[in-house]
Amino acid sequence: MPPFPTALPASPRPAFPASTVLGYPRIGPRRELKRALESYWSGRSTRADLDQAGARLREQTWRRLAELGLAGLPSNTFSLYDHVLDTAVLLGAVPSRYRDAPDPYFAMARGTDGLAPLRMTKWFDTNYHYLVPEIDADTVFKLDASKPLGEVREARALGFETRPVVVGPVTFLLLGSALDRLDEVLGCYEELLGALAAEGVAWVQLDEPALVGDRTAEELAAVRAAYERLGAVAERPGLFVSSSFGDLGESLPVLAGTPVEAIGLDLVRGSVPVAGLGGKIVVAGVVSGRDVWRTSPGRALAALGALRASRVVVSTSCSLLHVPYSLADETDLEAGLRGRLAFAEEKVAEVVALADAHARGAAADAHPGDWAADASLAGDDPSVALLADDRPSIALLPVEERSPYPVRAAAQAGHLRLPPLPTTTIGSFPQTGELRAARAAVASGTLSQADYERRVEAEIERVIRVQERLGLDVLVHGEPERNDMVQYFAEHLDGFAVTRNGWVQSYGSRCTRPPILHGDVSRPAPITVRWATYAQSLATQPVKGMLTGPVTIVAWSFVRDDLPLRDVVFQVADAIRDEVRDLEAAGTSIIQVDEPALRELLPLRRAAQADYLEWAVAAYRRATSGAGDRTQIHTHLCYSDADQILAAIDGLDADVTTIESARSGARILGAVSAFGRGLGPGVYDIHSPRVPSADEVESLLGRALRALPVERVWVNPDCGLKTRTYEEVEASLANVVTATRRLRATLAT
């Protein structure tokens, strides 16, 4: 490594454009990519058709960004499935078992008949899922730059110069738990820089969001080594290292000490650094890529003005991948709310307007152009005032706690009279195409609400009968009335709005339509009681009431930013508590409050985690605190790394916790012995169409019984059954019941 950053480009490179975005949605304004993918996967179209659909979407994006006046256009932000998977392919990290598949890329993404896909997990603290790079002794890194180079050429043919975006080497290796392979991987990045320079590319963006987390001295040394080495490449584009989702903290001085020319800062989550930017260009993320609110021009211009850098570029805090395309379709939204919103297109317009205002030297309190002339933006920034710490927090209001667990457990045992190893499911049963069509028909006015409700009732009856036939102990109604476990509640609570076309990519072709939590939350009327009582009226076994927990509702929505997140979650908790009380009053003896997103909101920095877990747990307890001793409260969580927050899960104080386990090889059982109440580690991996045999289930149950006392073990699948078929579900659950009966018989002797 050279002692000094010496290499200078042969000719001065063009200045970094004044405005840009770190990335853009890619699923298509009408989810065109979803349709193209699903058509290709089902064999209705060819790979060439799919590639053409991708090219059309890229062209549309570049044209739109240019039309909106954005100066710096990114490329290689498009992906057919996932940008981390694209990076693995770029670097040659394709495990050998996929190489002979007809389409290795989608084999890694989705698996084939004989091959499981790569592991998938959430991208930092977002709800986007990426494929985890699999790097082991067999991995031979080898550059294949065809995708980024192809996109540069494609854009150029349309008349656009672009900045290719690639996941940076440190983040890529940290995601693949293989930082020890840095040397090899840097060889590929060096080669990539050379290839891009030869193509005449002026700037490249290397995304390093992992640098906003806690990094060890060794990891920081890797950051330094990586960017000194890449900076020393003789012929290369300008290096722009971007960060997102928080402050760079101790990574900033390290990065600033390397020869990279530009550093990207998240100035929405993070703050303006007081010093240490050296002579770098700062790409200032003042427009949030994580929420749907309009940017306060006063705040943004103040941040831009406070940056001490050689040049300030206006940008987004992260890729706009996490927000929907455009507000243009949202004509149903109430005008006052609509005026406060910005989706991707509107955010690009903000970036452009702010860059313009900043260039004109607009003072922090000025209102740039027509953009700020909009009344909803009128200079004052309500969020600033409301965030002040002296605002009384509803979190401090006391709630009555439930009785100690032994008291509750005794009351419930007497009331419910369940056998040992009670069997149950997580809530949803297969969602049929007919029900989805019926919901669409209600929305378009071709099916009456009464007819729709009769169909839901018929489906509930079917679900109850199936469970009775199978011999399950605690039944569910199957959730047929719910389009989605969060959206359904959002539609029935005040303070939320739902969009028509606000789709956001979750993974691959999967999109969600997060509701917008914009006002104070309350529950005008009972939401689930009607269906719960109907289901119970059909059955003699207990039927669980089924609710989504406050953290999950908030995590999977776009949330107002004028209140601390904690207070918003507590408002939702109070609404759920009303529902718990009403369910109980209507005779429901078991109520499940799901919190599958508890882990997702965990702050990236360890220093902030304890505080989060404390209020998140408090919110859950608040939501369930209305239940009497005889009412059994269940919760459900699903992620393989639950062991990391097991103490918090225990703190929820639910009487029974069902949790994903089968999918991750029952790893969690190693950590649950201290768990004080009922626990159902999943014995059936619902993510796969495979039907587990009774022997397999019995062996998993046997392991649970070695880790936990028998009176605390529940028997259930890993998660809801919504995405499976009835055929798979009935066969699997029959085996679950068989295995349970065998074990009960052994216990009895």
Per CB under 6 A, 426 contacts ligand GLN: yes
Using CB under 6 A, pick the residue from 294, 523, 636, 724 that binds ligand GLN: 636
**What is the footprint of Zn ion within residues 155-194 (CB under 5 A)?**
none
Residues whose CB is less than 8 angstroms from the CB of residue 564 and which lie 6 or more positions away in sequence, other chains included: 387, 393
Would you say 463 or 638 has its CB closer to Zn ion? 638
Contacts of 284 (CB under 8 A, 6+ apart): 265, 267, 303, 304, 307, 312, 313, 314, 315
Containing 505, the helix (H) or strand (E) segment is: strand 504-507
427 is a contact residue toward ligand GLN (CB under 6 A): yes
Helix-strand-coil split of the chain, %, nearest 5: 45, 15, 45
Q: Is 21 in the site for ligand GLN (CB under 6 A)?
A: no
CA distance 438 to 435: 5
The residue (of 377 and 547) whose beta carbon lies closer to ligand GLN is 547
* Distance of closest approach, residue 723 Cβ to Zn ion, in angstroms: 11
Residue 494's beta-bridge partner residues?
A: 522
Counting residues that bind Zn ion (by CB under 5 A) gives 3
Write out the two tokens for 701.
């149950």
Nearer to ligand GLN, 237 or 549 (CB): 549
Q: DSSP secondary-structure letter at 334?
A: -
* Subset of 578-617 contacting Zn ion (CB under 5 A): 596
Among the residue ranges 222-230, 251-259, 421-429, 526-534, the one whose residues contact ligand GLN (CB under 6 A): 421-429
Nearest distance in Å: CB 708, Zn ion = 20
Q: Could you tell me which stretch among 334-342, 384-392, 426-434, 733-741 binds ligand GLN (CB under 6 A)?
A: 426-434
From the list 323-331, 425-433, 510-518, 728-736, the region that binds ligand GLN by CB under 6 A is 425-433
Q: Which residues pair with 74 in a beta bridge?
A: 163
Determine if 719 is a binding residue for Zn ion (CB under 5 A): yes
* Selected binder of Zn ion within 233, 377, 463, 638 (CB under 5 A): 638
Give the range of 60-68, 300-308, 460-468, 718-726 binding Zn ion by CB under 5 A: 718-726
**Contact letters for ligand GLN, residues 708-727 (x by CB under 6 A):** -----------xx-x-----
Q: Is 535 in the site for ligand GLN (CB under 6 A)?
A: no
CA triple 7-12-16, angle to 5 deg: 105
Of the two residues 223 and 638, which places its CB atom closer to Zn ion in the complex? 638
Least distance in Å: CB of 431 to Zn ion?
Answer: 15
Please, is 586 exposed, middle or buried when counting C-beta atoms within 10 Å of its C-beta (0-12, 13-18, 19+)? middle
Q: Which is nearer to ligand GLN, 201 or 719 (CB)?
A: 719
Q: If binding is defined by CB under 6 A, does position 594 make contact with ligand GLN?
A: yes
Contact between 638 and ligand GLN by CB under 6 A: the answer reads yes
We find the least distance from the C-beta atom of residue 490 to Zn ion, in angstroms, to be 19
- Dig out the tokens for 82 from the structure: 């996932």
Tokens linked to 674:
């201290």
What one-character-per-residue DSSP string does 681-720 give?
E-SS-TTSSPPPPHHHHHHHHHHHHHHS-GGGB-B--SS-
Q: Judged by CB, which is closer to ligand GLN: 268, or 476?
A: 476
CB nearer to ligand GLN: pick between 27 and 546: 546
Residue 219's CB: how many other CB atoms inside 10 A? 20
Give every CB contact of residue 165 below 8 A, 6+ residues apart in sequence: 22, 23, 74, 75, 76, 77, 83, 204, 205, 207
- 427 binds, options ligand GLN, Zn ion, none, Cβ within 5 to 8 A by partner type: ligand GLN
Q: Which residues, including other chains, have CB under 8 Å from residue 456's CB and lie 6 or more apart?
A: 435, 480, 481, 531
What gap in Å lies between CA 464 and CA 116, rounded to an integer? 33
Under a CB-based contact definition with an 8 Å cutoff, are residues 319 and 289 in contact? yes
In the complex, least distance from residue 490 CB atom to ligand GLN, rounded to whole angstroms: 15
The catalytic residues are 687
Nearest distance in Å: CB 416, ligand GLN: 20
The contact set with ligand GLN (CB under 6 A) reads 426-428, 479, 485, 546, 594, 596, 636, 638, 719-720, 722
The contact set with Zn ion (CB under 5 A) reads 596, 638, 719
